[in-house]
Structure formats: structure tokens, C-alpha cells
Structure 1
Amino acid sequence: MFDSRHIRTFHQVVASGSYSAAARVLGYTQPAITQQMKALERSVGVPLFIRAGRGLRLTEAGEALARHAATILDSLTTAQQQLGALARLRSGRVRVCAFPSANATLVPAATARLLADHPGIRVELLEAEPPDSVDRLLRGECDIALAFQYPGMSTELPPELVETPLLEDRLTVLLPVGHPLARRHAVRLADLADERWIAGCPRCRANLLQICADEGYTPDVVFTTDDNLAVQSLVAAGVGIALMPALVLSFLCHAKVTGRLVEPHQRRRVLAYVLREHLRIPATALVLDELRRAAGARSGC
């Protein structure tokens, strides 16, 4: 394994033609140059220089290393510049894996601020429902995972993960315009026992079944889909009603549906997950901060 300092010194010795000349250029003593070259030769395993009168001549190994030294040093300089840019947040790539409604609300708001303040940061979007989004984080397929959690569904986190709460996302019942209960400001879950229901992702469906069971009935689920727009269209067509998070209602609004608060009040927690060691990466920490800020702006939801 070469020491980059030794390569720099070797390159200067070759350019200067002697240890003493290289020492003057680099500000070292001649014995220090000699010691570095001896250490480099030990690393290489063969001599790099031979004496030629009062000067130095490269051995075959020295000539081979001299051909590569400039390239090695240029690569090191480029790497240092790139790492410096990453540390100063002038560049960087952060992969965010989120569920659809977060990708449509929180992520765009956070990304817009990043582009304005740190145009060198690039955010790549992936989409997955929890727990798949968190599994992708653990597999190294993304840098930040956004997920949601309903009451009673908490799971033990692996020690390498850090959980960051973003917001409490209230749930509403989605009704077709003209439904008798649509005239109310809030709708009791107990009053929806005879309705047909449209369920969402597995976690959303499990939550629906649980909260209805708490009210003493099993909902009649006639349709299941992860597509939020399809849910609204099905409700508008009178196929059934649905439980919808406020994040979804903020960007999808079918003219023939309306949302009403449910009683007792229901909310889900929206969370960000990151590997503990990745919190030390400036770009990842910055994106996480912007996601927190975007969530804070929606805290009234």
C-alpha cells in the first residue's frame, strides 16, 4: 500500500532530479526526503533510484512508477475536491424511498428548498409502502425511508436505524357528495357500520378493520386498491366509502367526493428512517432536515 505523501515526494524528486532539489521545493530537509524514498522503496519491494555521478537515475521500477505518479496524484486531487464539495454541500446524491402520498407532498416541498439553497444536491425518488420502504433502507437501496404507523402497530427497530417523527396525519372518511352523513362536520365511526368500504394498502386495511372492531362491527370491504385516485373515483361512483389520510386529500380532490373528520379522532404517524451512520453524511442530514421542515409546515393537517 503506497503512502500518498511518498508518491508526492517521489514525483517531485523525479521532476527536480535530486533529493536536495526536491527538499528545497517541498520545504523538507534532505534526510527527510531520503527517509521517505527508502520507505517507498520498502513498500514497492525494489529500488527506484540508482546513483549516476552526482545525480539520480530511475530504475526500471522507478520509471514504471514515474509513469503512474502524475495520474495517481491527479486522481487524489480530484477525490479531495469531490469530497470537499460533498462536505460543503455543493454536491451529493440522496435516495429517498417514500409511500405515494409523502412522495406527492413532503418530498416535493423539501426538494424545492434544496434546489433553491443547494442546487448541487440531487434527490432520487423511490416509492414503496411500509414496511417495504424500511426494508429497502436496510438493504442499502435508499438513504432515507419515509413510512407511516397506525396506533398499536409499532415495531422494534433494528439498532442501526434512527427514527425521526415528522407529523401526525389525521384520517378522514371519504363520502360521495350527497351522502346523508356529508352534511355533518364530523362522522362517528359507529354510524358507518352498514356502509360498503374501499380499503387501501395492507397496513391501512388492518387499521380500518381494527378501528371498526373497536366500534363493534366488521366493515364490509368490497374493494381494495393502493391507488389513491382510484379510491376517490370509486367513492364518487358510489361503490363504497373510504378512510383517507389528510396528506392524500391535500393533493387529490374529486369533485364528487367530500372528506369528513371521523369520531373518535384517528391519526397515523408519519416517520423518517435513516441508518445511524448516515446521519454523519452532510447531504443526507440536510435532506432529513428539509423533510422535517416540510412536515412542520403541514402540522395542522
Structure 2
Amino acid sequence: MEVHHLKTLRELRDRGSVTAVAQALHLSPSAVSQQLAALQRATPVPLTEQRGRVLTLTAAGLRVADAAEEVIAALARTEGAVAEFLAQRGETVTATAFHSAGLAWFPALIERAGAEPAGPEVQVRDEDVSTEEFPLLAADHDIVIAHRPLGSEPWPEARVSVTPLIEEPIDLAVSRTHRLASRPSVRLSELAGETWSAAHEGFPLEPLLVQAVSASAGEPIRIVHRVNEFNVAAAIIARTNTVGLLPRYTGLGSHFADHVVLLPIEDLHVGRHIDLLTRRDTIARHSVRTVIKWITTIARR
């Protein structure tokens, strides 16, 4: 049984004629008759009968119309609960991010949430996953801060709603004592023979290094260390002659700023998209949209 068919039956009980029901529901009399006929096909007993020129309810029809009241009331309560939930401001919103975004933005996000007593409570978690796994995190978290290389396949928008955040350049990272540290930028030809630290195989920055840098430099690069966490990579680079790729805005904690230099690579445009991923029903919630605005403001600042 369809709810709108039950509503039509209830209106016939209360208004007494198909014409009156049509006027009340802003339908044609034939449309009302079609709805009643559809309800009748789903019911094994007659619901209406013709008395002269007037269509009236049978005893079974009256019972069904009375029962429809409970269905319609339950639906109204459900719709009201959904509306209240979508507008709720003080609920908990969970956010997850890859390590460098969490380091850069989580403290400010938690501080922002704490300054709004009537706003959403924010709970955060870091996740270190491969590119294709980021959309899957939206099943367990309200907001997913995800990244993918420039030029890569876009996120599957049939599965998640995408809010673009920033486009972040990727630079060469060297120690303050490295031979290139005093340069404002470098060219790929100057990187021959360097020892590299790279992300794990299959993670977002790893293809940038293996494919883009190797192809542009004209020779395979020597990857000795595999480190996903940028603070660990920065610590290695700071004290050795190892070089690597680090994001310009989120990849270098303040405690390494005096020990590591970031250099743009002149003949290679390398970077990544950082986006917010949510399920489509999740982003309908007022509290989630509020936290998305906070993250967007923090990141672009």
C-alpha cells in the first residue's frame, strides 16, 4: 500500500465524495479514482461501493481508513524527527584526515569547536590509507579529509559528495646543509644521484616521485627510505643528505622549519588536491555543514 493512496482513502471517509477529495488534494476526480483503484488492487476486500451517484466506503474501507490514521501519524512523526535531526546543532561530528592535514588543521578545528558551546562537538581521528580507500572512510566518519595527485582520477561522486578544499604544491625538501639549500628553486637535472625518501608504494605521493620525477629527470631515482609520515621524513631529511617531496603548506611541522628547506621544482608541476568527502545524506545535516565551513576557513587561511 502506498501512503498517498491511504491518505486519499482517509479524505474520502472525511469528505464524503470524490469531487470534494479532488478539490482538497488539488487533483482531478479521475486522478482520485485512479489512486483509490490502485489501493483496491493491493487489498483483498472491497474498500468502496457505489451508492447512487456517490462513492462511499465499505465497512472494510472504514477500517482501513481508520488504520491509515496511524500510518500517516507515524510518517509525520518520522518526518518531524528527520527535520529535527537535520537542523540539530549540538550533535557530535566525526572527522578523519591523513596525517599532515591532521597535524596542520586538527588543533585549530578542535579549538574552533570549543569556542562554540552551542555548536557541534568535533571528534577527530587520523587515517593513513591509499588514495582509493579514502571514499570508503565516509562510511565510518562524517567528514573525510582526503588527498589525490593532480591529474589523477576524480573521486567517485556517485558514492561521495566532494567539497574542494585547496590545491597544494609539492616541493623538494632538503636539509639546511644540503648543496641546494641556498637556491630559490631547483631543476630536475640537478637531482641526479640524490638519495631519496618516498611514500609507501600505492600511497598518493609515491606515484608522483616514481613516475613524474624519474621520467622528467631521465633516469631512475634511488629510493632508499619508505616513510609515509611527513614528520618522520622531515626528521630524516633534516639530519642527512636524503631528499624527498613534501607538501608546501601541510608537510612541514613548525619544529622542522629551521632545519628543512622547501624548494619549488622549476620544470615539474607537482601537487595534490585536498578535498572533503562525505556521504550525501551526511552532508544534509546542519552540524556537518557547519564543521565543513570551519575546516574550509582554517585550511584556506
Instruction: Classify the TM-score, shorter chain.
Output: 0.5 to 0.7
Alignment-derived partner of residue 209 in structure 2: 208
Aligned partners of 2:86 and 2:284 also within 8 Å:
no
Aligned length: 225
Asked whether 1:131 is paired with 2:132, we answer yes
Cα 1:159–1:82 change in 2 (3 A) is: closer
Alignment-derived partner of residue 256 in structure 1: 259
Measured in 1, the distance between the counterparts of 2:205 and 2:254 equals: 19
Alignment-derived partner of residue 161 in structure 1: 160
Cα 1:81–1:117 change in 2 (3 A) is: farther
Measured in 1, the distance between the counterparts of 2:118 and 2:205 equals: 36
Q: CA deviation at 1:288?
A: 1.0
Q: CA deviation at 1:218?
A: 1.8
Residue 226 (structure 1) aligned to one of 221, 225, 228 = 228
Measured in 2, the distance between the counterparts of 1:239 and 1:186 equals: 17
Q: CA deviation at 1:86?
A: 6.6
Secondary structure of the corresponding residue to residue 183 of structure 1: coil
Q: Which amino acid aligns with 1:237?
A: R
Measured in 2, the distance between the counterparts of 1:145 and 1:251 equals: 24
Asked whether 1:283 is paired with 2:294, we answer no
Secondary structure of the corresponding residue to residue 142 of structure 1: coil
Alignment-derived partner of residue 106 in structure 2: 107
Aligned partners of 1:177 and 1:257 also within 8 Å:
yes
Measured in 2, the distance between the counterparts of 1:169 and 1:222 equals: 25
Measured in 2, the distance between the counterparts of 1:181 and 1:83 equals: 59
Deviations 1:147-178 (A, max 9, x none): 11112322451413111111111212111222
Alignment-derived partner of residue 244 in structure 2: 242
TM-score in terms of structure 1 length: 0.66
Deviations 1:109-147 (A, max 9, x none): 23322322354411111222333332121xx21111111
Q: CA deviation at 1:101?
A: 1.0
Q: CA deviation at 1:262?
A: 1.9
Gaps of 5+ in 1: 1-34, 44-75
Secondary structure of the corresponding residue to residue 263 of structure 1: coil
Aligned partners of 2:174 and 2:261 also within 8 Å:
yes
Aligned partners of 2:230 and 2:252 also within 8 Å:
no
Q: CA deviation at 1:85?
A: 7.9
Aligned partners of 1:236 and 1:254 also within 8 Å:
no
Measured in 1, the distance between the counterparts of 2:253 and 2:236 equals: 18
Alignment-derived partner of residue 198 in structure 1: 197
Alignment-derived partner of residue 69 in structure 1: none
Aligned partners of 1:98 and 1:133 also within 8 Å:
no
Alignment-derived partner of residue 184 in structure 1: 183
Measured in 1, the distance between the counterparts of 2:246 and 2:111 equals: 26
Aligned partners of 1:161 and 1:276 also within 8 Å:
yes
Gaps of 5+ in 2: 1-61, 71-76
Alignment-derived partner of residue 146 in structure 1: 145
Secondary structure of the corresponding residue to residue 177 of structure 2: coil
Measured in 2, the distance between the counterparts of 1:118 and 1:165 equals: 28
Aligned partners of 1:232 and 1:254 also within 8 Å:
no
Alignment-derived partner of residue 68 in structure 1: none
Q: Which amino acid aligns with 1:150?
A: P
Alignment-derived partner of residue 45 in structure 2: none
Equivalent runs, 1:89-108 vs 2, <5 Å: 89=89, 91-108=90-107
